[in-house]
Amino acid sequence: MSLVRKFATVGGATLGSRFLGFARETLMAAALGTGPMADAFYAAFRFPNLFRRLFAEGAFNAAFVPLFAKEIEANGVEGAKRFSEEVLGVLFSVLLLITIAMELAMPWIVAWVIAPGFVDDTAKFDITVKLSIVMFPYLMCMSLTAMLSGMLNSLQHYFAAAVAPIFLNVALIGALGYGLWTGADPLATAWYLSWGVLVAGLLQMAVLYIGVRAAGMSFALKRPRLTPNVKRLLWLAFPAAVTGGITQINQLIGQMIASTKDGAISVLQYADRVYQLPLGVVGIAVGVVLLPELSRALRGGHVKEAANLQNRSLEFVLFLTLPAAGALWVISDEIVRVLYERGAFSVDTTATVAATLAIYGLGLPAFVMIKALNPGFFAREDTSTPMKITGISVVVNCALAVSLFPLFAERGIATAEATSGWVTTILLFVTLVRRGHWTWESALFSRVLRLIVATVIMAVALNYASLALAGWLAPQSSLFVQLAALMMLIGLAMVIYFSVAFLIGGADLSMIRRNMKRKAVAADPLPPADL
């Protein structure tokens, strides 16, 4: 299966999950708006969700995959099974202890980490603690799910791991739908959502376990032992978790600061959900596929193949992300109005969320490029360098967030996160080039400049088109008319961008055809899954 086809497999499954995520947030906006229960739920969910991102998209995708692939290479399927059992024994034991400790310490965690600004509001603080206690076991489910995902990705079974997050959105949509159908008050709806999160974690874990068994791997839970392989995994996993979760770490810092203003956490969450669509579809797809592909190429001594993988991946993410960033900047108001403005979600809330979303759009290319650059380190079992760069990024984010929030509220938080994302991207890229781990292509640089030109032309046209359709997009128009107008804007933007990009040489059809047909150079230890 070609690199682009693998990206499409993961991206397609992720796209389905993100669309369901939009449906979930639309129901959430109607049911809770930016009220106190929305703040409480999002604050409580942020903590286990942070760990989900750290493990699922950080530690295990960065540390487990290269070691698992190496074990298959050296000792075959039996060796990989033995390694998985060693990791599972230690992981399960550690997670169980962490979960128990966190549950007992939840009031202090909420007060000092999750939402310090809630302390003065006793009712809001108490419900946040209770919701956190219900949802925190989701961390245990998702960490085990991350291990199963790493196994499937290493075996080139990408689809099952990518489709698993859909169950979270299905469970939460069911909880919100039930709440709206029964006329439940915001507090009851928040409880339904919290239990839905826990149910979703169990479902995701079960689905991936079935997927691993179907891929030909079976393993059992055994007593924990710190074998050399497990020690190596732990040594790589901690910095990888910090690095892979940089966006989520910055968001947690932003939430801590935003908790001092009513409704700010919900505003950031609604804006985050929109820009997570291109980030998830493109960035996560590239990150998930590129790491095992790059690991195989380097392990087989195919240096040119590795360099080509890196350059084509960066070209691919920018080709799709730059126009998304331009559109988020120009029509953020229209997007937020159509997606959210109904029920408890007011016109004023639309303006605030849209302004925040526009700033996140400027950081989108950086957030996605981080996903394409990190595998250049992880595939070489270097997780410490990205962690150091992440530390610099967190300092930048903290300094800017504290400075800008009093002046610009939610927009200050978004500016801090976008800036720290670009700092991380620049430092990662420069480090790879200086070490000789990234082959600089002047042709790639030229194409990226042309893609930027195509994006600017598209953005200008989109601005005039949105003004022409202002009547259709007005709050007084029906939802159907608003959706039709938004789809027209998106369709026009795609036509203009792709036409200009191909016309001026920012993209090349022959290059895309070559990547669609390209086969992996390194021999695969197990047959790939064409899912």
pLDDT recorded at residue 530: 29
Average pLDDT, the chain: 79
Q: Is 405 helix (H, G, I), strand (E, B) or coil?
A: helix
Instruction: Give residue-wise pLDDT tens across range 115-158.
Output: 788 888 888 889 999 999 999 888 888 878 878 887 887 777 76
CA proximity to 490, closest of 323, 376, 360? 323
Is 247 in contact with 392 (CB distance < 8 Å)? no
In the chain, domain spans = 3-517
Instruction: Give residue-wise pLDDT tens across range 374-414.
Output: 777 877 777 788 888 888 988 898 899 889 988 888 899 99
Q: What angle do CA 352, 358, 364 make, to 5 degrees?
A: 135
Instruction: Give residue-wise pLDDT tens across range 314-368.
Output: 887 888 889 999 999 999 988 888 888 776 677 888 888 899 999 999 999 998 8
Q: Is 506 helix (H, G, I), strand (E, B) or coil?
A: coil
Alpha helices in 331-374 (DSSP H): 332-340, 347-373
Q: Is the pLDDT of residue 173 over 80?
A: yes
pTM value > 0.85: no
Collect all residues with Cβ–Cβ distance below 8 Å to 102 and sequence separation of at least 6: 109, 136, 139
Q: Is the pLDDT of residue 42 over 90?
A: no
Cα–Cα dist 240/238, whole Å: 5
Query: pLDDT band for position 58 (50/70/90)?
Result: low
pLDDT recorded at residue 500: 93
Reported as half-sphere exposure (CB side, CA atoms, 13 A), residue 298 has a value of 21
CA proximity to 363, closest of 294, 420, 427? 420
Is 287 in contact with 371 (CB distance < 8 Å)? yes
